[in-house]
Structure 1
């Protein structure tokens, strides 16, 4: 009787290759681990703080207060896709919101025109950042740190080191409503985040532009060899980031209703924590819009719960700093794991070794030497 031979594609019980099932399980954990962590944090804080955390006021507060950090995190994510960093986004946010207040209060501009000019100005700042990095051949970390310092100087020059305070009549109600209004019972800023994340997901995941940006971020040399204009598309990424920063500045002005020249710096670290931590979720190993939103949700729920438990003020920077280190480490691990998975999948299989049959009697093996 011929012994049965198990299929090489089945596991010990014929249920599929164990390595593939383990890899699939690891992928699910990596992709949706932050989503599960968000749900877990909500449950823990709801049980710990049953009177304050699981309420409509808390949900509205999270959706409203975390909208600007989420928008800025999405802005920071775009250059990261190409392997660059834009450290000027915090300074740009401060300048943008101060300019909106200056044009409306001091310049007496119509608020729609002021907002439009500031958003376009943000795109111009992003364009200049991209040109300096790509055509000036300056490292993005150094270049944007320098331009950010210059933006901060312009902010101080416009405000003369003080604050821009509206007059007794205040700001136009239609302008403040772009932040204070609700839609379908939820704060309107939450819908801005959802719409922006959907647009970025469509561009990065479904359009050729997004694929070009990912190729540039993973291997610029290979992108050049296949004909992708790496400099041009990198400038596009910085410009889009600046455009979103300008929009975030408009939202910040409508929220604060006062021009504070230093407020933008408070958003720099949360933005990069969200962008880097987001690269470990949904699409582990690469920055993505949906992962960034999930990361911001984790941070928002964690900070809200910690705050309601009466934590001291210094726990916030400690939380962000520790999370940033964790995010960078997890992002690097996810990227290395993705590369090793691709390499093992694309590696050529070893040729099969032909079976050796024992020599027959009377054959050459029995012949005398």
Structure 2
């Protein structure tokens, strides 16, 4: 083996630096943004009250972003989540206020209903062979119609006694001095990290998302696992609807649509971090954090109301572009590593043959 083959190449250095930036760049940006706004707003931004407000206010978008991460890992998009969120939160309040159900039973039924709706989305996409964008947009529109039918186009308002305190504490409660919803987000991120990174279910979804044909060839039941992915997303959306009901305490049939864009921004931007090139739970959590810090900072600097949708829309375009770039870069890196291994093997064979010939002579 020649000495040059043992030295790290300049390409290897660039690859290592690029990998580090791609993996941890978004996390570093979060820290830099927090420090920047802390310097610009020293009296309000770096305070426990502000941190609690950010954690509480962004918990539902974070949960939704984690939910859509699962079907995205399989290469599918669930555009019905905004409509499903609105239906879920209205349904919780309808069962508690109008039907007089105990709140734990109402919450359980809505979460299970979310799972079933997600499974129906998966069946339509996989077995009816309808594109996920069109299928989930169609089912989402139908959910919006059901929401309007339940509310009769108005709002569900609790009576004079209000909602049960134990129910509203699902969102308003605190634990260790921090809002309880922050711990829901952390717990969900850990669960999805285990499922996607450490269990066969997650590995199958990644294979399906990268090459469905190859997944079928190796024996992975692609249709079944895609239905599972949509059902998982629906379960998370149902849970987010329960939290939204506990937060809003009024059934608003159109409120869910406001969460569609932030959820996809977080999930797609998250696919450029931690595991660049593929959707992953920890990357989504980091992306939601940087979005939350950025929105809180520009809000406290006095930005107009239109700054939030502008920020979300622009970030979505950047996220989609970066996600595509990360995926292409990952493929090039894998191909380069394979080529380097082949060159290295050829060099070793040549060196051995030369040495043997010289010794014999």
Q: Deviations over 1:303-359 (max 9, x none)?
A: 00000011001111110000000000000000000011111212362445969x9xx
- Choose the corresponding residue for 1:57, options 49, 52, 65: 49
1:215 maps to which residue? Answer: 207
Q: Does 1:256 align with 2:253?
A: no
CA displacement at 1:231 relative to structure 2: 0.2
Equivalent residue for 1:349? 342
2:291 alignment counterpart: 299
Partner of 1:114: 106
- Tell me the distance in 2 between the aligned counterparts of 1:97 and 1:41: 33
Aligned equivalent of 1:288, options 265, 280, 290: 280
Unaligned runs of 5+ in 1: 11-15, 358-369
Could you say what secondary structure the match of 1:349 adopts? helix
Instruction: Find the partner of 2:238 among 243, 246, 255.
Output: 246
Q: Does 1:166 align with 2:149?
A: no
Structure 1 residues 101-110 or 21-30, which shifts more? 21-30
Question: Rg bigger for which structure?
Answer: 1
Question: Which protein has the bigger helix share?
Answer: 2
- The structure 2 residue matched to 1:20, chosen from 3, 7, 12, is 12
Question: Matched residues in 1 for 2:231 and 2:158: separation?
Answer: 31
Structure 1 counterpart of 2:4, from 7, 10, 13: 7
Residue-pair matches, total? 347
CA–CA separation in structure 2 for the residues paired with 1:25 and 1:62: 32
Tell me how far apart the structure 2 counterparts of residues 165 and 136 of structure 1 sit (CA, whole Å).
39
Q: 2:218 aligns with which of 204, 226, 240?
A: 226
Question: Counterpart of 2:357?
Answer: none
| 1:38 to 2:35 alignment | no
How far has the Cα of 1:7 moved from its partner? 3.2
What root-mean-square deviation, in Å, do the aligned CA atoms of Structure 1 and Structure 2 show?
Answer: 1.4
Could you say which residue in structure 2 is the equivalent of 1:91?
83
